[in-house]
């Protein structure tokens, strides 16, 4: 019993690290319960026999299908927990497990009901698999049984909208399995098919040697294959489209008489007058707790130096470093003349102590000048461990202390950050959150974002559609748009037809308007992936409302209804894969019980 308790604690710590880290760095793995004898407190890894990935990308909508085969090379029958990460805003649309050569698809149920059925099937020694929501970016599947020497094949499909920056589209598949397989994979393959309405200019991978086939300007196929290998890095693919041709792209879907669904991609060219650049304050808040020691702190210092060296002449700045305590370079934002002193101050920073995020942010905000536009860059590699540690309380404290002229940009470093805290800070206060994975350079990520936000931002966005009635748009409210970025909006529409789109916003004190003519909302047909993308965004919005304002039955019921209809796993629902034998009926249970009893000798 004690070995089970130790193992449960170990698995819980593994799961929590996956929950709080985004993006998570591992493809699907199976953690199995330890065999009954001998007791073992260590996780047991199954062998990943094969790993096949098929990706289709059409106008930035990517659908990824994963097919993995696991082998139990132990001497015991095992129950496994299959854990895999998902990109932000991705939604699972298909999940299945192969049992005795037959593919059995999963279905979405209420989470409690799915778990009850799973436990009942396990007691009857059948083959279910239960997929549950663990947290943003991480899911788990419970699989039982896995007999010694046998394989379990799992299939998973998810969709996402790929971001584009200045015509550069980036796709990432988490392929890092080095820590999670008992031995090298027999085979791994990734095939990507790209289709674009705009000419594709370049296709390349920064992580792997790939084969690229270009049959014409609008299609490309990318392939990667390897045998007897332990992948140790993610698969990263880039392709570019002509930025001068990028304007507005509309994808839509409608079936029958029901309201349609649309995905709108807009990349306006914001006019920037250099003489109109407004002086601002830049506040740098750096985590110097003990976990930042070494290369992390060195790169963070380089990031601070970059920002200080690229301030505009009329900008002001200040620096806060924090661990268990909080220290500031100056009591208020300083002019550029103090930059050299600040650079020397940064050089002397050391990593030691805990992480008091609440105090660091509040003391930084206490020195804000409410009359000047202000950017707060917040960089941390961990969770709040000192002072106020409850995330809702930290968020409330910041919301009360933060003036409306401050935009927050949060950087999470490593696998142990609280993504809910950082995402909410950025989203609620006009900024963005970015995550630096192990092996990536902090200074490069920070400098790239800072270069982008150094130019004026299109704020106070309004979207109007003439000719077609639209509703239920997400994200809500519309986010600010940085130079070279793209606005991604999903929503519902009535009937269909040709429409005119008008996007308005402000750059500093000037109003700008962008008009796009001749956009077609389909009356029937279209891309069937769009409804699920819309439902994913809406569920995300509803979950945010629960996190911010507390749980209500109305919100939960709406989430469950959307989840079951569109096949999206949430904290309130799960996928369940069952054998063909029906266990929900009395007859099904009777047959299952008789089948199980037949495996034992008759009692005397």
Tens of pLDDT along 505-537?
887 667 888 888 889 999 999 888 789 889 989
Tell me how far the alpha carbon of residue 104 is from its chain's centroid: 27
Q: Do both 55 and 138 map to the same domain?
A: yes
Are the C-beta atoms of residues 126 and 583 closer than 8 Å to each other? yes
Q: Do both 62 and 155 map to the same domain?
A: yes
List the one residue out of 274, 330, 243 whose CA is nearest residue 454.
274
Length of the chain as a residue count: 604
Q: Do both 502 and 411 map to the same domain?
A: no
Q: Do both 438 and 513 map to the same domain?
A: no
Give the number of domains in the chain: 3
pLDDT at 567: 78
Q: Do both 438 and 514 map to the same domain?
A: no
Residues 578 and 575: their CA atoms lie apart, in Å, by 10
* Mean of all residue pLDDT scores within the chain: 78
Are the C-beta atoms of residues 412 and 435 closer than 8 Å to each other? yes
Residues 267 and 243: their CA atoms lie apart, in Å, by 9
Q: Do both 105 and 216 map to the same domain?
A: yes
In a domain, 270, yes or no: no
Q: Do both 420 and 523 map to the same domain?
A: no
- Average pLDDT per consecutive 10 residues, the chain (604 residues; last block may be shorter): 29 28 42 50 64 93 91 78 72 78 70 67 61 58 76 87 80 72 81 90 83 87 90 84 65 93 80 61 94 86 90 92 94 95 95 93 93 91 87 92 91 79 87 78 79 73 94 89 79 94 82 88 89 89 84 91 84 67 40 41 34
List the one residue out of 176, 192, 299 whose CA is nearest residue 232.
176
CA distance readout (Å), 115 to 19, 112, 127, 536, 560: 20, 5, 14, 23, 15
Q: Do both 426 and 305 map to the same domain?
A: yes
Residues 419 and 426: their CA atoms lie apart, in Å, by 11
Return the DSSP state at 256: T
CATH number, domain at 385? Answer: 3.40.50.410
Q: Do both 414 and 488 map to the same domain?
A: no
pTM check: above 0.85:
no
CA distance readout (Å), 51 to 46, 93, 177, 181, 209: 13, 19, 10, 12, 17
Last residue of a domain, one of 389, 418, 453: 453
In a domain, 585, yes or no: no
In a domain, 586, yes or no: no
Furthest-apart CA atoms within the chain: distance in Å: 96
Residues 442 and 186: their CA atoms lie apart, in Å, by 34
In a domain, 78, yes or no: yes
Main-chain dihedrals φ then ψ at residue 412, nearest 5 degrees: -100, 130
pLDDT at 549: 79
In a domain, 465, yes or no: yes
Are the C-beta atoms of residues 320 and 362 closer than 8 Å to each other? no
Q: Which tokens sit at 598?
A: 């037949």
State the DSSP H helix or E strand holding residue 498, giving kind and residue range, or none if neither. strand 497-507
pLDDT at 294: 86
Burial class (CB in 10 A: 0-12, 13-18, 19+), 416: middle
The model's pLDDT over 544-587, given as tens digits with 9 standing for 90+, comes to 888 777 889 999 999 988 988 887 878 888 766 655 444 333 44
List the one residue out of 352, 362, 260 whose CA is nearest residue 297.
352
Domain range holding 358?
A: 280-453
Residues 425 and 408: their CA atoms lie apart, in Å, by 7
Q: Do both 150 and 17 map to the same domain?
A: yes
Burial pattern 338-356, b for ≥16 Cβ within 10 A else e, equals bbeebeebbeebebebbbb
CATH number, domain at 48? Answer: 2.60.40.3680
Tell which phi-psi region holds residue 235, choosing left (phi > 0), alpha (psi between -120 and 50) or beta.
beta
* Number of Cβ atoms within 10 Å of the Cβ of 258: 9
In a domain, 435, yes or no: yes
Residues 86 and 133: their CA atoms lie apart, in Å, by 11
Q: Do both 233 and 374 map to the same domain?
A: no
List the one residue out of 339, 445, 322, 497 whose CA is nearest residue 394.
322
Main-chain dihedrals φ then ψ at residue 313, nearest 5 degrees: -55, -35
pLDDT at 281: 93
Q: Do both 440 and 484 map to the same domain?
A: no
In a domain, 202, yes or no: yes
In a domain, 188, yes or no: yes
């Amino acid at each position: 019993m004690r070995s089970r308790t130790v193992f449960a604690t170990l698995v819980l710590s593994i799961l929590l690290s996956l929950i709080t880290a985004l993006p998570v760095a591992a493809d699907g793995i199976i953690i199995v319960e330890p065999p009954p004898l001998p007791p073992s407190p260590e996780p047991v890894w199954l062998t990943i026999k094969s790993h096949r990935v098929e990706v289709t990308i059409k106008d930035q909508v990517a659908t990824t299908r994963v097919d993995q085969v696991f082998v139990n090379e132990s001497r015991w029958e095992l129950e496994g927990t299959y854990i895999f990460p998902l990109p932000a805003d991705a939604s699972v649309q298909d999940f299945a497990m192969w049992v005795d050569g037959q593919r059995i698809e999963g279905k979405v149920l209420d989470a409690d009901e799915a778990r009850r059925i799973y436990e009942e099937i396990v007691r009857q020694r059948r083959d279910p698999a239960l997929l549950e929501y663990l947290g943003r970016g991480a899911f788990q599947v419970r699989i039982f049984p896995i007999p010694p020497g046998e394989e379990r094949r799992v299939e998973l499909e998810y969709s996402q909208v790929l971001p584009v920056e200045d015509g550069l589209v980036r796709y990432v598949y988490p392929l890092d399995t080095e820590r999670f397989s008992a031995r090298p994979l027999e085979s791994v393959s990734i095939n990507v098919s790209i289709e674009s309405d705009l000419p594709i200019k370049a296709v390349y991978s920064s992580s792997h040697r790939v084969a690229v086939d270009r049959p014409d300007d609008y299609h490309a196929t990318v392939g990667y294959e390897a045998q007897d290998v332990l992948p140790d890095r993610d698969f990263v693919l880039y392709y570019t489209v002509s930025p001068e041709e990028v304007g507005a792209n509309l994808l839509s879907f409608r079936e029958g008489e029901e309201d349609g669904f649309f995905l709108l991609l807009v990349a306006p060219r914001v006019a920037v007058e250099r003489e109109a650049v407004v002086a601002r304050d830049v506040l740098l808040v750096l985590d110097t707790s003990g976990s930042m020691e070494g290369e992390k702190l060195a790169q963070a210092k380089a990031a601070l130096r970059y920002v200080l060296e690229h301030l505009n002449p009329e900008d002001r700045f200040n620096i806060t470093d924090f661990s268990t305590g909080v220290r500031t370079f100056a009591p208020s934002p300083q002019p550029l003349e103090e930059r050299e002193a600040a650079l020397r101050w940064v050089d002397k920073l050391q990593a030691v102590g805990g992480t008091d995020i609440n105090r660091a942010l509040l003391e930084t905000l206490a020195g804000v000048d409410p009359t000047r536009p202000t950017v707060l860059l917040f960089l941390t590699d961990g969770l709040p461990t000192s002072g106020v540690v409850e995330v809702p309380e930290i968020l409330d404290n910041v919301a009360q202390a933060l003036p409306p002229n401050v935009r927050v940009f949060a950087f999470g470093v490593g696998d142990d950050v609280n993504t809910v805290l950082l995402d909410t800070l950025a989203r609620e206060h006009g900024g963005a959150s970015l995550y630096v994975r192990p092996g990536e350079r902090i200074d490069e990520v920070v400098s790239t974002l800072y270069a982008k936000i150094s130019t004026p931002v299109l704020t106070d966005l309004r979207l109007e559609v003439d000719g077609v009635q639209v509703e239920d748009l997400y994200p809500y409210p519309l986010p600010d748009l940085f130079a070279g970025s793209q606005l991604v909006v999903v929503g519902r529409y009535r009937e269909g037809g040709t429409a005119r789109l008008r996007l308005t916003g402000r750059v500093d004190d000037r109003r700008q308007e962008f008009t796009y003519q001749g956009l077609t909302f389909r009356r029937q047909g279209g891309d069937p992936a769009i409804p699920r993308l819309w439902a994913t965004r809406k569920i995300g919005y509803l979950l945010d409302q629960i996190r911010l304002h507390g749980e209500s039955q109305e919100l939960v019921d709406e989430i469950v209804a959307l989840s079951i209809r569109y096949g999206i796993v949430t904290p309130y629902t799960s996928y369940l894969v069952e054998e063909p034998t029906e266990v929900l009926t009395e007859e099904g249970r009777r047959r299952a019980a008789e089948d199980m009893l037949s495996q034992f000798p008759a009692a005397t």
